[in-house]
A and B are shown apart, each in its own frame.
Chain A
């Protein structure tokens, strides 16, 4: 069985968030990580590798620096890493991104493609289903459990108030929720491998059956009209008092505001 896992390198917004004095995010001070949903997708693939000896290829699109997440994936146990990077691919929206990744995946053999549900920087949840659409594959989004049955996958697909247990013949694409599992750590042997192994680097010319008009900023149907750092309403009052005084203070405020 061959599995392709799509991952994204994202700024770490959890925990190490840094703000500028004006309340905006200080991006330069933040670290990058493998997107959490993608890491859960990778872990799911590695468990299938453990069980069925599947071959796991990790693919990312990004700046040359995104090589780091591929090395991390290899250190966790992935077999191959492919970095899709090219200046002409920059500024892509989800349509152009999914077109690019589909163009890269067309070069590969696969039974299963796993992506994260959504990335924590964009939060769109669009790229996975759109890759499936470009490749003509069935898609199962929001997977909270993945099993293999013969030539099919059986997946628990999460909704707000229920889940559906779905079965479909491979090849197919699954988008993973971070609730799916607890990703493993890198192993010392894996870390050694990660720096021994060659990561394959592909550019525009390596994408299969993709038209230039669907790539990068120019090939993106959605255009940014305006972007700004969100201006928060700002902090109100903060007091440090013992419990009784704190309650008296708050009750006073509630009365002032006619809350009670």
Chain B
């Protein structure tokens, strides 16, 4: 494989129901930084049915080119036609870097495509940069330049590894939503569109969609919240979350929760913070009755300010909290709500 044939930074621009996912814009923001360091271009890969109209939005967020694979087979996400589409784009256009959002789609599409094009894939990266591999020269080993260095947490967030893919192309990475920054949109940008269709012939790997059941969306997006009031098992019951609702309301914040709360059926899964939930970094994160299992901490430790309230003084959540209050949340939370209310009324 001639690695030098592979050029450009590509982004899988995920859309569902012909609406682009925010992670596509975030990846384009990071792709621009990487492309600048490599003196190359950013290309978005847009896959779906009847989706050409979305291309200009990708240009606004930094795509120099947009490859559009538009086919009726691609109306809803299914692993096979999408993997065929993306793998064919990679084989045809040979990108050196391919970025995919670590969504429920990307974490299925990414591994399938990486195995098909026989390259490595690094999951859930938090830092992407261009550098040398090995990072420091090693005797009897060629130090390769302009490599994609992919940093990710492992072991529930307790170790950090930086990974390279020096001998295979493209270098593939997935990135969780909310980790990278999108650019301020370039007004009236027009996409340079390239249409590509590798042909889609259903085979044994095409699954049949019998039904699509959408969840009733009445919950806030906790990834956008500036203030999160998060409850854990210690809250005690579904009803008792009203204490947190009241605190969140005074602060203009949003309620979120730990995995145990979802498992108990007290809150819906969209509000779950942590390794198997969402990664959040609000300005203030209240961890109320949350013990602080590392899977939870991995999803919130980058918050600007963390306040923990827990009756167990040995709870690990106190190890990451800026301010820890050891005590009964049933007393502290209402008192805090009251004090904040009074303070707000003064202003």
B321 to chain A, nearest CB (A): 6
A176 to chain B, nearest CB (A): 13
Give the chain A neighbours of B161 by CB distance below 8 A.
224, 226-228
Give the chain B neighbours of A220 by CB distance below 8 A.
120
Q: Which of B158, B205, B301, B324 contacts A236 (CB 8 A)?
A: B324
The A/B interface has a contact count, at CB < 8 Å, of 255
B137 to chain A, nearest CB (A): 13
Which B-chain residue is minimally distant from A251 (CB atoms)? B339
> Chain A contact residues (Cβ within 8 angstroms of B): what range?
35 or more
A29 to chain B, nearest CB (A): 13
| B114 and A95 contact, CB distance less than 8 A | yes
Which A-chain residue is minimally distant from B150 (CB atoms)? A222
| B110 and A126 contact, CB distance less than 8 A | yes
> Chain B contact residues (Cβ within 8 angstroms of A): what range?
35 or more
Q: A138-B80, A167-B207 are contacts. A226–B156 as well, Cβ < 8 Å?
A: no
Give the chain B neighbours of A23 by CB distance below 8 A.
319
| B207 and A138 contact, CB distance less than 8 A | yes
Of listed A17, A125, A167, A249, residue having the most chain B CB within 10 A: A125
Q: Which B291-322 residues have C-beta < 8 A from chain A?
A: 293-295, 301, 305-307, 313, 316, 318-322
| A162 and B332 contact, CB distance less than 8 A | no
Q: A17-B294, A24-B158, A237-B324 are contacts. A165–B153 as well, Cβ < 8 Å?
A: no
Give the chain A neighbours of B149 by CB distance below 8 A.
225
Interface of B is mostly: mixed
Instruction: Judge whether A54 is part of the interface by a CB distance below 8 angstroms.
Output: no
A240-B313, A248-B339, A259-B283 known, 4 other contacts, Cβ within 8 Å: A14-B295, A124-B121, A169-B204, A232-B301
User: Which A residues fall within an 8 A CB radius of B?
Assistant: 11, 13-15, 17, 19, 23-25, 93-95, 98, 120-130, 132-134, 136-142, 154, 158-169, 220-230, 232-244, 246-251, 253, 257, 259-260
Question: What would be 23 A-B contacts, judged by CB atoms less than 8 Å apart?
Answer: A13-B294, A19-B319, A25-B158, A95-B121, A120-B156, A121-B154, A126-B110, A133-B83, A137-B205, A140-B79, A160-B270, A161-B217, A161-B270, A165-B209, A166-B208, A166-B209, A223-B133, A223-B164, A226-B161, A234-B319, A238-B313, A250-B323, A257-B305
Q: State the 6 A-B residue pairs at the shortest beta-carbon distance, nearest first.
A: A221-B120, A222-B120, A133-B115, A238-B324, A243-B331, A236-B322
